[in-house]
Amino acid sequence: MRIFVAYLANDGGADAVVLAGRLARSVGAELDIGLIAPAHQPGADPALLDVVSEQAADWLEQARALVPDVESEAHVAFHDSIAAGIIAEATRVGAVLIVVGASGGGIVGSHSLGSVVNDLLRASPLAVALAPRGTRNSPVERTTRVTCALGRRAGSAGLLGFAVEAARRAAVPLRLISLVALDQLPGGGADPTAPERAVEHAHEALAKAREVLPPDIEITVDAAHGSTVEEAVAKLDWHDGDLLMVGSSRLAAPQRIFLGATAAKMLRVISEPVVILPSQPESN
């Protein structure tokens, strides 16, 4: 299993490398740390291009030094589009996940979504993990719990399967959460049956997870409700080492990521790493 880190020589890049190292230790993966630079322009001085490549290689060695205990390879690549280059390189090395860090863009809680990250969250065919600001300073070396935010739309089985496999490989507890927010209900009004249906749906997912997880892996269910998604999420407990997994919006193209409104609201109030999965057909 390979994890691709989209690296920049800044704090956000360090956050991404450290999170990727945590995930790699947890699931037994290897890292590909890639620095994607703008493509060469016609007539560019070859000597300048050599300098850029040498500097990028130095930065990548510094990145690898952040996770010396994790098997890793470093790559420099040039592409017209940085986001497209990240996807192309991650696909080329056979990665199952792209890890990115805060890039100084629009602030969303502890997650800072710059233009490249936003592009990835609109088109990536691979899952994308967001490293919150400050991850580089965390003493946590491994994931300690996987949390799966359940939805009822088609494709949620794929999300559950991904979370179950992550918990199995990492040998950590799996938490299934189902959110009930009044601002997400039709008309914004109260639905007295919504909490009960959320719990029922979560327990159905628990039964499916229990069928494939070893008996020694703990599975819990939480159904949180509030007037908004943010309020519901804030009622849940979060700890260092948690990893949240969410699915894509119903607007996503098949096998592509599209960050939905609910997931975006969750990012505003949590400080834990988040993995967004591409849209998947129910059969997956």
Q: Could you read off the pLDDT of 209-234 as tens digits, one per residue?
A: 888 888 899 999 888 788 888 888 88
**What pLDDT shows up at residue 192?**
62
**Is a pLDDT exceeding 60 seen at residue 183?**
no
Average pLDDT over residues 236-265: 82
Say if residue 135's pLDDT is above 90.
yes
Percent of the chain with pLDDT over 70: 81
pTM over 0.85: yes
Domains plus CATH for the chain?
A: 2-137 (3.40.50.620), 145-276 (3.40.50.620)
The pLDDT score that the predictor gives to residue 284 is 41
Alpha-carbon Rg for the chain in angstroms: 19
pLDDT confidence bin for 206, thresholds 50/70/90: confident
pLDDT confidence band for 254 (50 / 70 / 90):
low
Q: Based on the number of CB atoms within 10 Å of its own CB, is 97 exposed (0-12), middle (13-18) or buried (19 or more)?
A: buried
CB burial string 136-156: b at 16+ within 10 A, e below? bebeeeebbbbbbbbbeeebb
Distance CA 221, CA 251 (A): 27
Integer Cα distance of 3 and 48 in angstroms: 31
What is the per-residue pLDDT for 125?
95
Dihedral sign computed on CA atoms, order 192, 195, 200, 201: positive
